[in-house]
Amino acid sequence: MPSIRTSSVVAFLAALTSAPSHAAQPAPPAPGTLARQLEADFVAAFEKVAPSVVVIEVEKPEDERDVVWRMFFDAPGDERQDDAREPEKKKQEKDELPPPKPHRSPQRQEAPQNQGSGTIIRADGYIVTNHHVIEGATKIWVYLRDGSRHEATLIGSEPQADLAVIKVEADKLVPAKLGDASSARVGQWTIAVGAPFQLEYSYSVGWLSGKKRGESMKQQFMPSHYVQYLQTTAPINPGNSGGPLCNIDGEVIGINTLIRGIGTSVGFAIPADLIASISQQLIENGAVTRPWLGIQIRSVRNHPEAASYYPATYQGVVVESIEPGAPAADSDIKPFDLITAVDGVPVASSSDLIYEIVRKRADQQVQLTVLRGRPGETAQEFKIKVQLGAMPRDPDTKTAARGPAPRKDKDPLGIRVEAATQELRERFELSDAPGVVVTEVDEDGLAAEFDLGVGTLITAIDRQPIASPEDYQQRIKAADLGKGALLFLVREKRQSYLVIRKGE
């Protein structure tokens, strides 16, 4: 037996040494193979999406054209702004610019024109573009890739999402295929197609450099917008607006809409899922009916008082107040609740919550994941269902009620409260909720520092309900004003809260 094993090992080793040394190594790819494959993928993506891209020319007053340009392309810090350049330098730059090339249109109008791009979304002539491209237009022209020109009709627009739908009467239109923007990953290829600087069907490549760019955009540029933008490094310039942002498969994952300064490789696009929802409403109704919760909110990361009550998380949205008669008012949502998810989708900021709600239908029911905390206790999680409603077009706002002149008091907050009689409820337009009414405020007291005014209904302190002035005195004495007392309020039928804390 030992001799057999020895001879077998020797034979095995001989076989290994006699085999060619390069047999186990794969052959290297031919020079340029990978580059050519990537090149072929880029070409295929362009050829797939280009027939769905249109060039849009609009006639609009000169002053409106200037406003649109500055809003979307002269971002803060852009060194191209005229005011930042010296007259001599501007003259020199003008002299160095080559003369503009003539556009293919044989009948250029005398009125000032502006140009953008659009994306065909239906074979029967519907095209999506940016609201700022067609805003204030007196006439809209659409050029197809075959060179034909068609006058377009505006179907509807949604300024707060910067989207618009127009329609042309034309045959053999090729609609773009909308991709799934939610599954797109940062680092994937992105491809922009449009007509920057009247260079039609220009094609630029970059990668997805960010998602959910909503919170910072609202703070810096557009407070009323609710879009969670895609961010791309693919070069986007004036004229690209309304054109598609694609993945490498030629699927449209967004519509290019704005940039952070020209030549910065920081561009933004509206995600395809929002485009599909809004364009469908515009086509069917000519307008967008936005879903409505009816709450005022603030991101917990920007809320020092809430952070102390919810120390275990930096993600979520604090309910600041609840509008009277709003869908949220008919649910179990309370002021100072921390909303962390909508239908299981996490929300980290105010923009996240707004975006998740506007993607719903106005008649849809949603489930909110909520944390509710009390001082010194671990916050509890609740699942709360809310039936959404349609956002009012012109919400009715009222000025705050004012009561009698303040006077000095020994109350820890410097206020006087009374039982919520029917006369006081009518006087200050209060709801029927249990509580006590603030009838006087010491101008030098703690409540005055936090704008707790006359006519406010206090319903609870540190989540302990209040039904009488005696309840109030008991709760406020038990509260730790050094750490902060959490007051739940009703002002003109609107539920809200206030954290009052003594200074050092």
Catalytic residue numbers, as ranges:
132, 162, 241
How would DSSP label each residue in 129-154?
E-HHHHTT-SEEEEE-TTS-EEE-EE
C-alpha pair distances (Å), 74 with each of 195, 227, 238, 370, 476 = 18, 20, 10, 40, 53
- Residue 295, both tokens: 């709450």
Residue type, position 145, single letter: R
For residue 93, the Cα-to-chain-centroid distance in whole angstroms is 38
Cα of 228 vs its chain's centroid, Å:
3
Is 326 within 8 Å of 297 (Cβ atoms)?
A: no
> How many CA atoms does the CB half-sphere of 181 hold within 13 Å?
26
Burial of 71 (0-12, 13-18, 19+ CB in 10 A): middle
Return d(Cα 237, Cα 342) in angstroms, integer: 35
Q: What is the full DSSP assignment across 66-91?
A: HHHHHHHHS-TT-TT-GGGS-HHHHH
User: How far is the C-alpha of 194 from the C-alpha of 74, rounded, in Å?
Assistant: 19
How far, CA to CA in Å, does 334 sit from each of 294, 322, 352, 436? 12, 8, 19, 18
229 neighbors 271 (Cβ within 8 angstroms): yes
β-bridge mates for residue 57, sequence order: 115, 141
The residues, any chain, with a CB within 8 Å of residue 424's CB and separated by 6 or more, are 418, 430, 437, 439
Cα separation, 43 vs 26, whole angstroms: 29
Structural tokens at position 72: 């979307």
Please give the radius of gyration of the chain, using alpha carbons only, rounded to the nearest integer. Answer: 31
Query: CB burial class (10 A; 0-12, 13-18, 19+) of residue 30?
Result: exposed
Q: Rounded to an integer, what distance in angstroms lies between the CA atom of residue 453 and that of residue 490?
A: 11
Question: CA angle 94-97-99, nearest 5°?
Answer: 110
Phi, psi angles (nearest 5°) of residue 376: 75, 5
Tokens representing 162? 């910067």
- Alpha-carbon gap, residue 420 to 67, rounded angstroms: 52
